[in-house]
Amino acid sequence: MLLRSSLMASVSLLASAGPARAEGVVTSTAGVLATRTSSIATRTATVALLEPTKTATRTAEAVSVREPNPASSSDALLGFDLLGGHLTVPLMLSLSAEGTSSFPVDRDANDFQPGLALSPLLRVGLEFKRTLSGMVSLFAEYEHDLPTGSWTSDTPVAGEGLPGSAPVAAQLRKAWVRVSYGPFLHGGAGILTSHFGLGLVANDGAHAWTPGSARFLDPRAGDVVLRGFVSTGPLTDAELVIAMAVDNLQRDDARVEGDSAYQFVASALVELPVHAGMFFVHRRQTSEDGRYLDVSLFDLTARVSSGPLTLEVEAALATGGTSLGGSPEIPDSDVLQLGAVARASLSFSTFGAVVDLVYASGDPNAHDAHATGFHADPSLETGLLLFRSVQAAQTGRGYGTAADPMLVGAPPAGIERLPTRGGLTNALVAFPRLWVRPVADLETYGGVLVAVAPEKTIDPFNTDLAGGPPRNALDRDPGSYLGTELDLGIRYSPKRLSFGAEGGVLFPGSAIGDSKPVFGGRLMAGCRL
């Protein structure tokens, strides 16, 4: 989320240089690069720290999202005693088929035509628990996606991070062990996923639709770290949990191939009198050519319930500096970004309502030494089409254009970090939704998403060709209105099965081109054992 604005400056410099001059031009991508990477620091920081005991895990879930990871739930069918402990084998299978109508993505009116995207998922897990002696206990967990990713029936335009472009492959999510001395001391290490609060920046990609949530989500992947940690808790009547960790980042939406990233994490959670938590992350990331990102991130979250009403909030502030994508003119950029999400839920036995408000700061100047554009995690609830499809395709195509050697000679440093990959950035979003449960296990839900851009939505290549005035991906004057989206869904979830269908229509605004309406939808089926 930290890297976006300066990248626009860098592409602009290259575009103006043209093939004959581009070889001698080093561009400034620090704004874009810093933007995306500081949110990583948050994303990879938290939930694993808060898993030292079963109670602590419940505390972490209460602070963030109330339902557990469906692939590691304690109600798995397969489980038996082994080696003096208990082994559980959770399994999850799912398949989704998704498609959208075509829509323009660049100045030449090239359409993004994704065809049908099939996304299979087989998530296999193992959980082993054993009391070693007295208050000393052992916990180990393994989780692997075999496979995950997407297969598409069509070849879209050239670009990076386009919707449905994740290849079908196996991904290791968890392989870690923890030793505990009662609630007083826990130590562990291994590969873990991470989730905190509402998933604004730390998101494990495992929190999908649940009854009464009215979420338009079918997440994949998630943030993964190699972590060593120590923690204590839950302690006192407040169920206080405190943890510290050192991470080596393995995978998230902002890390690109060749990057090396480490971070220090400190976290605290309480359960009473309200669910509340905070964590601090300091991250150091370097690219293959030695450029750096050095940021600190502060994240706060809280949840309070009264009868049928639940209020939740998360806010994150990133600050620091970066030279990722820096140029001789602007070798370093300051990082200062803000993101926040608030959710109000009203739930009764057969109907309810949910309202999400999301804010991600933008960057008003692509040519200065300040990176202010915040990037939210792609697995955060942001509807079906505007951010997941249209903006992801336009920014992904923007990479393809700005990196085209026929246009710029040599691609600017850090241009691969420009695509949003489905994450929300430079946006203020309101997404009210209603849900109805006419009979047991059957739920319908729908909502209206309205989004505006706090700053101009800029395509760096088009902006430079225009001589400086802001231009969007379709080479038009960007207004502040991103668009309005109407979404509708239905789910049938008897026992361990789940079937669903979702569809929507987006009316794009002037910020992204004022183009024709975009239609899209998906079918989903799943099973949890």
The pLDDT score that the predictor gives to residue 440 is 94
What are the backbone angles phi and psi of residue 15, rounded to the nearest 5°? -60, -40
**What's residue 414's pLDDT?**
65
pLDDT string in tens for the chain (529-residue length): 444 433 333 333 333 333 333 333 223 333 333 344 444 343 334 434 544 333 434 333 333 333 334 444 457 888 999 999 999 999 999 999 999 999 999 888 889 988 899 999 999 999 999 999 999 999 999 999 999 999 988 777 878 888 888 899 999 999 999 999 999 999 999 999 988 999 998 899 999 999 999 999 998 888 999 999 999 999 999 999 999 999 999 987 778 788 899 999 999 999 988 999 998 999 999 988 888 899 999 999 999 999 999 999 999 999 999 887 666 677 788 999 999 999 999 999 999 999 999 999 998 776 678 888 899 999 998 999 999 999 999 998 887 776 665 655 555 666 777 788 899 999 999 999 999 999 999 999 999 999 999 999 888 778 777 777 888 888 898 999 999 999 999 999 998 999 999 999 999 999 998 889 999 999 999 999 9
Please write the tens of the pLDDT for every residue from 15-70.
333 333 333 322 333 333 334 444 434 333 443 454 433 343 433 333 333 333 44
Tens digits of per-residue pLDDT, 145-204? 999 999 988 777 878 888 888 899 999 999 999 999 999 999 999 999 988 999 998 899
| CA proximity to 295, closest of 286, 287, 284 | 284
Count of structural domains within the chain:
1
Residue 403's pLDDT is 63
Query: In 3-state terms, what secondary structure has residue 409?
Result: coil
Element (H, E) at 408: helix 405-408
CB of 206 closer than 8 Å to CB of 190: no
Whichever domain contains 446, its CATH number is 2.40.160.10
Q: Which of 455, 458, 456, 453 is nearest to 473 (CA)?
A: 458
Alpha-carbon span 110 to 425, nearest angstrom:
23
114 touches 155 (CB < 8 A): no
End-to-end CA distance of the chain: 36
Which tokens is 245 given?
A: 């960790």
Residue 326, helix vs strand vs coil: coil
- Radius of gyration (C-alpha) of the chain in whole angstroms: 23
Placement of tokens 């602007």 in the chain: 330
Instruction: Return the amino acid letter for 455.
Output: E
What is the rounded distance in angstroms from the CA atom of residue 512 to the CA atom of residue 503?
21
Full-model pTM? 0.85
pLDDT at 339: 97
Amino acid symbol at 383:
G
Q: Cα 269 from chain centroid?
A: 22
- What pLDDT is stored for residue 29 in this prediction? 36
Tell me which residue range forms the domain holding 275. 2-528
